[in-house]
Amino acid sequence: MTQSLTGKVALVTGAAKGIGAGIAKAMAAAGASVVVNYVSDRDGAARIVAEIATTGGHAVAMQANIAVVAEVEHLCAAAVARFGRLDILVNNASVFAFAALEQTTDAHLRTMLDTNLWGTIITCRAALKHFGTHGGSIINIGSMSSERFAAGAVAYTATKAGVTGVTGVLAVELAARGIRVNQINPGAVDTEGARAIGAMSDEARAAYTASTPLGRVGTPADIAAVAVFLASDAAGWITGECLAVSGGLR
């Protein structure tokens, strides 16, 4: 059985850069038509769409804040209007800020809850209106922070642990409709966002490398390859799984 996504339509949230961009490009390379969602980075999303087109793939950029119900519902409807169906939803959009609990502001807490957890739930709900009788695949992007605890990450970890709960419940709830729901928990991955907060400094990279059994930090392509597998018919009997894609980091 192959990992082809030919004929399928995928919606990837937060896909203008980082892990989301990697997943969008990999799914297009596997044959899917891809909606590259972004909230503010229009140029980044356009660049990903252009890269996909260069390799013969099909993609379109669509703006929506996945923390806003009306925008999410419009996004899913627009995806179907553009490509005729919806088969795959990748809930990748995420924000993060790290601080000790006493320094965690209400604004940072609310933003992470709204985007990472609330956004995942309402996007699943909106997408379900458009999955057909053929079923589908939902892939939630969690984090190893929900398994490997670190100081300063209480808000982020809480949201990602919540996503794990969403994954488990929906896997049971949607199974009768042929919709599989799985989760990827990335380890230390070199992305623009990680670099922006200093998580990919030479010192941090050395620490991650030393503590990761496979001896390196991850790349968006590492995560994307697993997402393509989970979305494909090759994973047709897999649902409710939270898969650590972390180079062995625990």
Beta bridge mates, 137? 88, 180
91 in Cβ contact with 118 (< 8 Å): no
Beta strands in 88-156 (DSSP E): 88-91, 136-141
The three-state secondary structure class of 11 is strand
Please give the single-letter amino acid code of residue 199: A
Give, as one character, the DSSP assignment of residue 61: E
Q: Residues 90, 156, 182, 194: which is the catalytic one?
A: 156
User: Beta strands 9-12 and 33-38: pairing type?
Assistant: parallel
Q: How many CB atoms lie within 10 A of CB 216?
A: 13
Is 38 one of the annotated active-site residues of the chain?
A: no
68 in Cβ contact with 93 (< 8 Å): no
Q: Which residues are catalytic?
A: 156
